[in-house]
Structure 1
Amino acid sequence: MEQQTTLTVQNAPQRRRYELRDGDTVIGKAHYLPYDGGQGPERIFYHTTVSEDYAGQGLAARLVQDALDDTLDAGIAVVPVCPYVKLWLRKHPDYQQRATPVRPEHLAALENAQR
């Protein structure tokens, strides 16, 4: 008999990422940087990963959709720097029109945060 798993997506603000969990195990991450450049709160999504053990199941899409839903529902703008998030947005025009274009100050904030 196949074991039933419970997949959830949770914001982990202290780690600045959304976590895709299989029970208690983190199997995917959508990293973001909170940013406020004077135009209201934004989240710069810059890196998304899912464990290779879970590849090919559409889980990155679920992780990104849940992360973006939660972000937008909180009134926070989405800034798509991550290549996967950009790709996902191209496939979902209803979300794409709600995303904020990447500006040079977003990239500078990411660079400064990684120093």
Structure 2
Amino acid sequence: MDASDVTVRNDPARQRYELLDGETVIGATHWVPFAGTDGPQRIFYHTTVDDAYGGRGLASVLARRALDDTVDAGLTVVPVCPYIKTWLRKHPGHQEHTAPVRPEHLAAVPHERR
């Protein structure tokens, strides 16, 4: 399996983008909405890919599609998640669509993920 074999979908009810192998969820990047002073934002706070699918660049596929979809929806990305932060450093073209993490962003992240 490679990146062309997976799909990514947003599941707003669960506040996450899901990485799918067929209909099986094999990874996710979790988000929460935030009303920023400069407009609506989406805080990304946790990203995972099942170990069995590791080392194939699938987390990068998930990040790119989730962030592109967020920007296309007119939202600013707030990168709390360490993986998303690292991905953004490697893809500077996305930087203009991000906001710096502030204490109020961290307070908005579900408690179990802080």
| Normalised TM-score (structure 2) | 0.90
Query: Could you say which residue in structure 1 is the equivalent of 2:53?
Result: 54
How many angstroms apart in 1 are the aligned matches of 2:94 and 2:36?
Answer: 22
Query: Could you say which residue in structure 2 is the equivalent of 1:10?
Result: 9
- Structure exhibiting the larger radius of gyration computed from Cα positions: 1
CA drift at 1:66: 0.1
CA drift at 1:98: 1.9
3-state DSSP of counterpart to 1:15: coil
Query: Could you say which residue in structure 2 is the equivalent of 1:114?
Result: 111
Task: Give structure 1 stretches of 5+ with no counterpart.
Answer: none
Deviations along 1:89-109, one digit per CA (max 9) or x if unpaired, are 000111123211111110111
- Which amino acid is the alignment partner of residue 105 of structure 1? E
Residue range with higher mean Cα deviation, 5-14 or 18-27:
5-14
Task: Give structure 2 stretches of 5+ with no counterpart.
Answer: none
| Normalised TM-score (structure 1) | 0.90
Runs of 4+ in 1 over 6 A off after TM superposition: none
Matches within 5 A, 1:1-115: 6-110=5-109, 113-114=110-111
By relative contact order (CA 8 Å, sep 6+), the higher-ranking structure is 2
- Which amino acid is the alignment partner of residue 111 of structure 2? Q
3-state DSSP of counterpart to 2:20: strand
- Which amino acid is the alignment partner of residue 85 of structure 2? K
